[in-house]
Structure formats: C-alpha cells, structure tokens
Structure 1
C-alpha cells in the first residue's frame, strides 16, 4: 500500500537581517540557510494497517504527510502509494485517499453538511444507490443525522469534525490520513470517532495513518507506531515494542502475608534480570527488565513460593514513554 524510501525534504529559508539597513541589504544580497525537514525516512505499510506517526513540533511529520498526500514534492527519495507517485500523478492519486486536517475544513462554511456532501459526490463522481447507501452508513455510524442540515458555521467543534471525517470518506478511499482529528474534542465525541474509525478499519480494510499528540488515541486505535525526531525516523515498530524500548520498565508490587527477608527473595529471583526494593517487612517492589518475557515467570515463581495477599502490576503509560523519548536528544535513528 505505502512504500517510502530514503525520503528527504530540504527547505531554503531566507534569513532576514534586522533594522532598516538590514532590510535594504536584503534587497540586493539575501542570506539563506538550508533546513533538512525530512532526512532519509524509509518505511512500508501493508493494506489494512492502522498506524500512528508521532513526533514533537518540528520533528518533520507534517512535512512527511504533505509529501505523502502530494502537496509537496520531495527533494530526494521515492514514494509509492496505491501504485501512484503522489506528486507526479496527483489528480488520479487523490481519488484513492481521504484527508482530514484537524485545523482546516473541507466543508463549505455557509452550506449545510448535506449540501457539501452532495457537491463532493459530484466532484468524485459518486452516484447511484451504492453512493447513497455508503453516505447513509456514514451518517448513521458517525451519528450526524441530527444536525446534518444546519449550516457548518453553526455546528460545534465535535459535530463539525464528525462531518469532516464523513466528507473525507464520501468516495470510499483505500487510504485515510488523519492529522489531529480529535484535538479539542470532549471525551464522548472522541470515543464515538474512535469506535467509528476502528470499525471502518476492520470492516472495509481501510488503511489509516494517524498523526496526533493525544497518546490516548494511539493506545485506543494503533498497534504500530512510527516516531520521528529532527527529520529522522527513530522508531518503527509495534506499540508494545515502543513501551519495551522507551518505557521505565514494569514493576510488580507484592504484599505478603508473612515477613519475607529481602535477601531470601533476591536469592529466589537471582536468575531473572530484575531489581528488588523493600517497601516494608511485608511489601516488596520488583522492577523487571525485558518485562514481556519476565513478568509471567516472576509472578509464578513468587506466588508458588510465598503466601501473597495482594499483587499489583504497574507499567509505563504511552504518555510517559513519549515524554521519555523527547526529554533526551534522540540524535541517531533507531528502527524497530
């Protein structure tokens, strides 16, 4: 579905000098600096995947999305999506994709969503009973029937965003780009949009690329995560692998019925890579390395050897992990 190889985008930016004299000199001798917004990014996506592209502001993800949608032409590298080269075959290519930008509207401000949908059906030549049934399904699953005939300018942010998603899917694209689709929305509207997108991905095999700063969207929808920093790809893999690589590890808090000497417990778990911390005579925390492998082994070993009154497993949240990634200089690209 998507093949991106050694993608690069370089911008030449004018450096304005200060003051009237500087502005006058700029008329005759401009100074420029070169900024590499995207630097050698490569990845592949199979049909039907639901994945997230994340990064802090300035990481290069928006530039990457714009090249993938055909808005920008790469400086170097190759992109092939749905069998098209986006920036070369844009007119045919855009018929196979849908795009939602959270900060920009594709609906006509003074028209109702119904009228906008009809115009888009004409643009994409979506006609007949199939087109009507598909639109009816979008209206029903996104629950927009109650306000679909009101002018867009009178809709709330949550209502408008659901209509934006419906508009992007009028022509039933194989690939959907979502850029911050839930920004500023309340919890109930976010949940409704997530359920719709999950169902769309499962029932229609629609490939969906999500860019967001809301890590709860990633946890709810995506299995695969691509992380960018300073124009480079620093991680490409499963969300579970991201937690393993960048997380603070998994901790198990044991509460025992009887006093357990820490050295005795340390001897029992000696073969496992872990650290032990005594909370008191009855409570011990075990911090694991390689948590996916060690968690069931440590749990079964301890509970088979001692009487345990309570046990709690604590993992790093995705929000903590994203914070860990950007609290240090990533520097070198590391692909999962």
Structure 2
C-alpha cells in the first residue's frame, strides 16, 4: 500500500542577528542555513493498518505527511502509494487520499458546510448517488445533521473538526492522513472523533497514518508506532509489546530519553 525508501528533504532557512544594522545587511546579502528535515527515512504500511507517527516538534512528521500527500517533492528517494508516486501523479493520487491538518481548514469559511461538501463533490467528480450515500453516512456517524447548514466560521472547534474529517472522507479515500486531528478539542469531542476513525477503519479498511502529541489518541487508535527524531526513523514497532505495564506516555518519554530527542 505505502512504501517509502530512503527519502531525504532539506530546507534553506534564512538566519540573521538582531538589530537594525543586521536587518539592513540582510536586504543585500542573506545568509541561509540548510536544515535537514528528513534524513534517509524508509518504512512500509499495509492496507487497513493504523499507524502512529510520533516525534517531538521539528522531528519531520509534517514534512513526511506532505511528501506522502504530494504537496512536497523530496530531494531524493522514492515513495510508492497504490503504485503511484505522489508528487508526480498528483491528480490521480489525491482521489485515493484524505488529509486532515488540525491547524488548517479545507472548509470555505463564510459558506455553509454543505456547500463545501458540494464543491468537493465537483472537485473529485463524485457520482451523485455515491455522494449522497457517503454524505448520509458521514452526517450520521459524525453527528453533523444540526451543523451542516451552518457557515464554518460560526462553528466551535470541535464541530469544525468533525466537519473537516467529513470533508476528507467524502470521496471515499483509501488512505487517511491525520495531522493533529484532535488538537484543542474537549474530551467528549476527542472520544467522538476517535470512535469515528475506528469505525471507518473497520467498515472500509481505511489505512490511517496519525501524527499527534496526544498519546491517548495513539493508544486508542493505533497498534504500531513509528518514532522519528531529527529527521531520522529511530524506531518502528508494536505499541503493546513496548508498554509492558507502563502507560503510553511513559513509553514515549523513555523513547525520547533513549534516543536523546
């Protein structure tokens, strides 16, 4: 389903000292520092698998998700998802994936949520019958009936995140990338989102890659975790075998200490 081999990605970041004179110098001569976001990462994920992709801030999680979704092009390495290279076959690739970025919205801010769904139907060329089936299922499972006619800007964070997940799944993707999907949600909303993701995985064998700092999300949704730090894959294994009576938070803290990240 997903095969990543020896992916590397480097960014150039502008640097300068503080002060007006330094700012003036930077107008004519900028100094850059190369930051290696991803350093020779490789892994495979099977169809229907739910994987936690964890690591500290700046570890390379979001960069990986952006490469897998076709937003970024790596400097080197290969990636095959359903037989396609994401950044080379974007149009065909996006029909098979759904992406939820917890801090970014794909809903149109000033129009009712249903209008955003209708526009996505046109973008993905979803047959009307299939669209109605998917919409009915998502409205029921995500409890959207009372809010689907409300503009996105008038929704609470929890309501908007449920709609964001619905928007990502309206075209029946085979793979779902979740980047901090429960950030800022209250306990009730988090449980509702987790239960829905588990149900979708069970019903449709949707492959899920979850990046989050919320270890309760990891424990509730995944059985396998991939640990990334400083752009490198440090560990890939079964969560239950690592716990051995400890909480998932304690396991992650110990992993961070072990790999000095």
Indicate the TM-score class for this superposition, using the shorter chain for normalisation: over 0.9
Per the alignment, residue 87 of structure 2 pairs with 87
Alignment partner, residue 78 of structure 2: 78
1:100 to partner: Cα distance? 0.5
Task: Give yes or no for the alignment of 1:218 onto 2:148.
Answer: no
Distance 1:148 1:29 in 2: 51
Who is 2:250 aligned against? 320
Give the distance between the partners of 2:137 and 2:21, measured in 1 at CA.
62
For residues 26-63 of structure 1, give each alpha carbon's deviation from its aligned partner in whole angstroms, at most 9, with x where no partner exists: 34443222111110110001111011100010111111
Q: Deviations over 1:266-299 (max 9, x none)?
A: xxxxxxxxxxxxxxxxxxxxxxxxxxxxxxxxxx
Cα distance, 1:159–1:27 mapped onto 2, change above 3 Å: closer
CA distance 1:30–1:155, shift in 2 (3 Å): closer
Corresponding residue number in structure 2 for 1:101: 101
The 3-state SS of whatever aligns with 1:58 is coil
3-state DSSP class of the match of 2:41?
strand
Match of 1:122 in 2: 122
What's the Cα RMSD here?
1.5
CA contact (8 A) 2:51 2:209 kept: yes
What is the distance in 1 between the residues matched to 2:25 and 2:151? 50
User: Which whole-Å CA distance do the structure 2 matches of 1:14 and 1:128 have between them?
Assistant: 48
Contact 1:17 1:26 in 2 (8 A): no
In the comparison of the two structures, how many residue pairs are matched? 261
CA apart distance, 1:329: 4.3
Equivalent residue, structure 2, for 1:153: 153
C-alpha separation between the residues in 1 aligned to 2:96 and 2:58? 28
Instruction: Tell me the equivalent position of 2:260.
Output: 330
The whole-number CA distance in structure 2 between the counterparts of 1:73 and 1:321 is 33
Give the C-alpha shift of residue 127 in structure 1.
Answer: 2.2
Cα shift at 1:164: 0.5
Q: Give the aligned partner of residue 227 of structure 2.
A: 227
Q: Please give the alpha-carbon distance, in whole angstroms, between the structure 2 residues aligned to 1:32 and 1:99.
A: 31
Higher RCO (Cα < 8 Å, 6 or more apart): 2
Alignment of 1:10-159 (within 5 A): 10-159=10-159
Measured in 1, the distance between the counterparts of 2:118 and 2:200 equals 21
Contact 2:178 2:209 in 1 (8 A): yes
Is the 1:234–1:330 contact (alpha carbons within 8 Å) kept by the matching residues of 2?
no
Deviating 4+ runs (over 6 angstroms): none
Is the 2:234–2:259 Cα contact (8 Å) retained in structure 1? no
User: In 2, distance between residues paired with 1:41 and 1:87?
Assistant: 17
- After TM superposition, give the deviation of residue 131 of structure 1 in Å: 1.9
TM (normalized to structure 1)?
0.74
Instruction: Give the SS at the match of 1:181.
Output: coil
Tell me whether 1:204 sits opposite 2:134 in the alignment.
no
Q: 2:176 is matched with which residue?
A: 176
